[in-house]
Amino acid sequence: MLQVQGLRYRAGNFALQEVSLDIEAGEYFALLGPTGSGKTLLIQNICGLIRADGGSILIEGRDVTRLAPRMRDIGYVPQDYGLFPHLNVERNVVFGLRARGVPMREARERIRGLVETLQLGRLLNRSTRGLSGGERQKVALARALAIRPKLLMLDEPVSALDESIRQTVCAELCRLQRELRIATVHVTHSFEEALAVSDRAGIMREGRLVQTGPMSQLMRRPADEGIARFLRIENIFRGRAISAHPGGTIVEAGGRRIAVPGQRTGEVVFMIRPTDVEVSPASEEIEARGENAFVGELAAITERGAYSRLEFNAGITIVTYAIPGRAHCVFETGGKYLMTLPREAIHVFDNPMP
Amino acid sequence: MFGSSGRDERKEMTAAGPRIHPLSVISMTFVFVFIAIVVALIAADLSYIGLGDVSAALAAPEIRAAIRLSAVTSLATLLLVALFGAPTGYALSRYRFPGRGIADTIVDMPIVLPPLIIGVSLLVFFQTDPGKWIETHGLKFVYTRKGIVLCQFLCSVSYAIRAAKASFDSDNQKLETLALTLGCTPMQAFRMVALPLARNGIVAGAILAWAHAVGIFGPLMVFAGCVRMKTEVLPTAIYLELSVGRIETALAIALLMLALAACMLAAIHRLAPGKRW
């Protein structure tokens, strides 16, 4: 559906460097990355709002790299929604159709279905000035969708909304996308938001698309330590390979010997997601027998609303999460517990630091 | 969260702290002093003449001719200013081209230049070969009514361009760009988004330029002359009346211009509230 190949663009000291990206028809793709990583520049290039220095952009096999924005059939919703303040809601929604020379009466007919789907009927005659954040977003969406684009670009679509309604709006976006089956790129800096809406995501850093893949893969197998830290994975360890092991390597980190998958030498950086760490009451016997089983002291409990973050000190600092009332044991600060890091859940970084 | 405006913030800021303190007293004193000076001048004018003087002045054929000529020339100037203001302001706001900074400075030059110099420069220009060529090919400016329009235009167009540029600058570019993704050509985006959003600022700027054009005097004396019933506009009429000692008639014309200026200011404030020029 959308193929970006080796896209290059320079803006002052910042540059998009050889960005390549494939998006399938009907896919909901999240473009993730910290502020200033080049996400917005990339979608502005794809929309044709700025002209790429090199590379190509293909939409349904057609090279649009040098085409004007209006020839690309992309519906773009900017971060602040960009509603036209001199037009009422209805005139905003039909704007693209009117620009294409569609008479007002026909334009009204064409947006009817969209207005129903997005429940905009009661707002049509209102000015855009008094609308709530959620309403503004719906109007901007309707305006972008009214031109029946092949691709929908949403630039941080919920960041301007109140925290309390973001999840609901994300769910609504998902539902709409499934209903319309339109390929969508959702730009965000929030991993939770990407997880809530998308099938697949790409992570941008310093003008490069550093990893793409299904969300589960990104979470379990981030390509490097920087991505893992951006995804807020907490258990990242640094150690040294000391011996080979059947199907793996023994690494010494913080005075502990940990079996990691694969044959490694020298310095090894690896991670395990907090949710993959198993915790049970302390047992010296299991610690002595089991692989990657360590007894440690519970150093801190931090309440995070629906769950608690537990930080253990076992020579290395191991973090895990527990849902109050559902844990296998009672957690008390200063108590001793047994932590097991399943070897298959450990991910070793091939390129520790980018 | 949404729709919180700068106005609300200003309200909060001014509400904070005591209303009467040394700073507010000192600054408000300056405001009152200035207003008192202006009001005193207008009051002096009004007390000097009666309604009879005004109606007598308005009945005089030479004054009527001056009013007519002022109206015609300044409206022609307004048309030219409107024609130049929006596209020039748009180009300076949107396009980055070599020498843009210099172009921007030149556009502002008539605002800071003494108007008399514009008149003198025009007179000199029409003595040069290109100027003579223009004069001999059907466009006579020196000591003609066309010359009045040219003077008024050159002295006032900068205000319109500056106002148009400020309107185009104010955050509308993103919306114009967005219109391109919705199917607009650049010309459509200008017509359907940029122009309507900047409209009030452009109109207010044109009115400001018009008000300025009506009051131009120095360059007209040099370039168009002040021949009664021929190149006499309202400011030159005031000068001519004063030179023959008819202060009442001069003041009657001045009050007429004052009323006109007040109407224009009201229109500007209505069209572009809070705009700074």
Chain A nearest C-alpha distance from B44 (Å): 45
Q: How is residue B136 written in tokens?
A: 């001999």
Contact B180 A69 (CB under 8 A): yes
Residues with Cβ within 8 Å of B41's Cβ and at least 6 positions away in sequence, in order, are: none
Q: What is the pLDDT of residue B171?
A: 65
Residue B19 forms contact with A (CB below 8 Å): no
**In the block, residue with structure tokens 């290059």:** A8
Backbone angles phi, psi at A258, to 5 degrees: -125, 130
Q: What is the pLDDT of residue A195?
A: 85
Q: How is residue A310 written in tokens?
A: 């537990």
Residue A99 forms contact with B (CB below 8 Å): yes
Contact A78 B174 (CB under 8 A): yes
Q: Which residue of B has its CA nearest to A144?
A: B182
Nearest CA to B208 out of B254, B266, B160 is that of B160
Q: What CATH number has the domain spanning A2-229? A: 3.40.50.300
Count CB atoms within 10 A of the CB of residue A247: 11
3-class secondary-structure state, position A320: strand
Q: Which residue of B has its CA nearest to A70?
A: B183
Site from B5, B176, B181, B190 to mutate, A interface, most A CB atoms within 10 angstroms: B181
Of A80, A95, A133, the CB nearest to B182: A95
A·B CB contacts under 8 A: 60
Rounded CA-CA distance B126/A6 in Å is 60
Nearest CA to B118 out of B218, B28, B191, B200 is that of B218
**In the block, residue with structure tokens 């932590």:** A339
Q: What is the dihedral of CA B97, B99, B102, B103, to 10 degrees?
A: -50
Contact A48 B185 (CB under 8 A): no
Q: Which of the following CATH numbers is that of domain B50-271: 1.20.1070.10, 1.10.3720.10, 3.40.640.10, 2.40.10.340? A: 1.10.3720.10
The structural architecture, per CATH, of the domain A230-348 is Beta Barrel (2.40)
Contact A78 B197 (CB under 8 A): no
Q: If you count them, how many residues does chain B have?
A: 277
ipTM of the assembly? Answer: 0.78
Residue B197 forms contact with A (CB below 8 Å): yes
Residue B272 forms contact with A (CB below 8 Å): no
**In A, which residues are within 8 Å of B1 by CB distance?**
133, 162
- Average pLDDT per block of 10 residues along chain A, 354 residues long: 91 89 90 89 90 91 90 90 92 93 91 86 88 88 90 86 78 82 89 84 91 88 87 87 81 85 86 88 71 85 84 87 75 85 87 62
Global pTM value: 0.76
Contact A241, A249 (CB under 8 A): yes
Of A69, A72, A99, the CB nearest to B192: A99
For strand A62-63 and strand A151-155, is the pairing parallel, antiparallel, or unpaired? unpaired
Chain B nearest C-alpha distance from A178 (Å): 23
Q: What is the pLDDT of residue B9?
A: 45
Q: How is residue B75 written in tokens?
A: 């409206």
**In A, which residues are within 8 Å of B178 by CB distance?**
76, 78, 82
Cα-Cα-Cα-Cα dihedral sign, residues A56, A57, A59, A63? negative
Helices (H), ranges, B51-144: 51-59, 61-94, 100-112, 115-125, 129-136
Q: What is the pLDDT of residue A56?
A: 92
Contact A70 B177 (CB under 8 A): no
Q: Which residue of B has its CA nearest to A48?
A: B181
Tell me the domain boundaries of chain A: 2-229, 230-348
Q: What is the pLDDT of residue B273?
A: 54
Q: What is the pLDDT of residue B11?
A: 47
Q: What is the pLDDT of residue A354?
A: 57
Contact B183 A86 (CB under 8 A): no
Residues of chain B with pLDDT under 70: 1-18, 171, 272-277
Rounded CA-CA distance A181/A149 in Å is 11
Q: What is the pLDDT of residue A287?
A: 67
